[in-house]
Amino acid sequence: MTASTNVYAGELVYETDIRPILKTHCFHCHGEDRELSGGLDLRLRRMMVTGGESGPSIAPGDSESSLLIDYIESGMMPPKEEEHLPPEDIARIRQWVDQGATIRDLEPVENPEPGEFLISSAERAHWAYQPIQRPDVPQSGYSNPIDAFVSRKLAEHQLGFSEIADKVTLIRRVTFDLTGLVPTPEEVANFVNDPAEDAYEQLLERLLASPHYGERWGRHWLDAAGYADSEGYNDKDILRNDAWHYRDYVINSFNADKPWDEMIVEQIAGDELVQATSANAVALANKDESAREKLIATGFLRMAPDGTGSSPVDANLAQNQTITETIKIVTSSLLATTVACAECHHHRFDPIPQDDFYRLRALFAPVYNTQKWLQPKSRQVAVLSAEDQQKAAEIEAEAKPISDAYNKRLMEVVDLIFERTMESVPEADQEVARAAYQTVKADRTPEQTALLEEKYPMLGLLSRNTVHLFLERYEDGPELKKSYEDLSKKANEIRATKPQPDYLRVAYEVAGQVPETFVFYRGDLNSPIGDPVTPGGLSLFKHGPKPTAQSTEVDPMGESQSMLATSGRRLDYAKSLVDGSHPLVSRVLVNRFWHHHFGRGIVDTTGDFGTQGNPPSHPELLDWLASEFMNQGWSLKQFHRLVMTSRTYRQSSSQRPTAMAVDAENRYLWRMPVQRREAESIRDAILFVSGELNLEMFGPPVPVSTNAGGVLTVGGGKISEDRRELKRTVYIQVRRTEPVAMLQAFDAPNMEPNCERRVVSTVATQSLALLNSDFVLQQAEAFAKRIGKELGENGSSSDQVTAVWNHAYSRTPSPAEMEAATAYLSSQAAHFENQKQKQPDELALASLCQILFSSNEFLYLD
């Protein structure tokens, strides 16, 4: 294709065909920066015709005489080679000029000022920015609305649904989907043999009620929230020993089916919901369980990498980065919008001005105050349960009399030493010296101070804190010292038995501190410009919190010591996100939930609903789901019921050549996509099948460390007495710079700062991990021992094969599989026996178990 060839059918118009190209490549120098390069502004047609210092940039109808075409074809502009326009874009601009440089809409009467942000009608018309409408459900033979929308799309491409999957496939699919685990042989048999018409619906309800549901689906949200047990930012990667409370909050919220509108408000502004500030957060958290939960929810705003406590080279830069990463997490997870691209300049692709980034930053400024920055450890809230508080009070009551006796005895010794010291004071000065000593230091006259410091310094020095220094002068000094130190030691020993508080990682404001926020010129934190910005959401929507003065509320504790104040910014913003009118939030959430069910969202760029993201494959379905989700009270479990009872979800994953020829990527869902288990689910499934999984929930993270071979593993590869290393992977410590090797091999994300969509790779390190990992070898041995115990001494090799197939695959082996597996057991047992290995039969079975753990049928779900 040559640059002069007109290759685009029809008449091109500026707003939709040309402006997006110029915005991406040219506007940052020619219009959207406060300084126009060459005096040229390309944002309006008439300004292009007028041109800049070199004259008109375009001559409508004559591309050969247009300077703009010369500059971009020659590569002179943009000046950086990596930003040069591709030939097809140059051809499009040339064709537009030759056609007369047509515009579709009336241009503003006044020319915009340099740096002023313009939003075109085409940008406003982007599908994701339109109000959520509830389209009519298509007429079809399906009772589930999802099937009606999907079947219509399939019919448009001469496609249809696949057959319904068999019951074994379905129970494995839904058990994995809702809990991340494998169904037991008993559960499979019960479901397969259940003749009830609603057996499938009952299965869903059982799994939705399982506490393991929250562990599975909570992990999905923890990805989006950027959950980590370390601070990241630099190689120090300081541990966060307090982050796990937020993880447990998420799991509990999913299990309780907490409405998502409530959950969003709690995570963004839980502290403001209960009017918690630095002055009363500790008291609230200890007294009010509901308030404590809402404070824990704000851990969402503390998940971003935060190196400010690691003595960074540039503390101000580290603070700024923490705020930026927090904004990234909030906007990518809830708005699927790349707002952080506007930190340094107007967004090059989407209608997001630089001011919008700083309007959002102003929302969080009272929590992240760069003028009075609090490092992570200074933001903690210490809490004790009611039971532990009672126990602590009882222990304190036991220690207090001893502590009182200590104080009494200490002062007796001080008085004794005082009298002994007074013996060296002349009688004439004793009265004034005694009076000076007994006067509080701050209240002493200059004469008294001079007397004690200059004339009788020993008296000036003597106090309860220094008396131990005087005791060395007396023969009975050690005995006197012991008389009160023994009491102190005993009181301390008793107090040491008090329950230790947990520390919560929360967000709250310091009452009265509402810092101003300025736009940083080109993102330089040392170059604030203009007036302070007003906090708010994206200006594109004219949607967000109304500017408010600092709000004042009565102390929710009911105590009268003070009035508590918060800015109200985050609470107003959070409520605006879930009031039902925001065009993005509900769409983004249901798309993410759909993605976790099908392995791909209706919009497959789950973190980017902007112009650079992909359009929805089923736009009307997306809007209907978003509307229905809100109508159903923002209930995720209700969403699961809707999706998982659809024909779309229950169909087989088998390939059909005719359908593959039309839609090889399965964008229109003519079959259920095959999905690989995530890293966590692979580990959990191995532990579950081996019988070793510790199902204890919640609590501090299980530490990770390097094993003898230098590989980072859970617990360094060792199992402690409480077997905590065998807990589900959601409870394993997440370190930003040191991911567990096996999890990393299977694409567990690095939280930089969060993960909007996991990649699914197929690489050699995965096979190597399954072949050589100590963990897999140990669990294969445990699986073999489990089968041995279940079958007893009389279990034959065919019984063993049947049992491992039932546990790992939820089915019995085929005749060919049985023949191959029993032959393998025989040959392996002979091999181990020739090597003089103990228990060769068990080793052979363990080897077979390892093969099953490494197989596609175990790692992938149909």
CA distance 859 to 745: 13
CA distance 621 to 594: 11
pLDDT below 70 — which residues of the chain? 1-8, 542-564
Q: How far is CA 566 from CA 319, 514, 550, 556, 622, in A?
A: 22, 9, 6, 13, 37
CB 232 within 8 A of CB 318: no
Non-local CB neighbours of 449 within 8 Å, separated by 6+ positions: 436
Residues in the chain, total: 862
Phi, psi of 220 (to 5 degrees): -60, -45
End-to-end CA distance of the chain: 45
Task: Give the DSSP per-residue string, 651-701.
Answer: B-----HHHHHH-TT-TT-SSPPPEEPPHHHHHHHHHHHHT--B----SSP
Q: Where are the beta strands (DSSP E) in 708-811?
A: 712-714
CA distance 299 to 243: 7
Please state the separation of Cα 675 from the chain's center in Å. Answer: 23
- The pLDDT assigned to 230 comes to 96
- The pLDDT assigned to 7 comes to 57
- Torsion sign (Cα): 383, 389, 391, 397: positive
pLDDT digits (tens, 9 = 90+) for 170-218: 999 999 999 999 999 999 999 999 999 999 999 999 999 999 999 999 9
- The pLDDT assigned to 544 comes to 53
CA distance 850 to 779: 8
Structure tokens belonging to residue 149? 């929308």
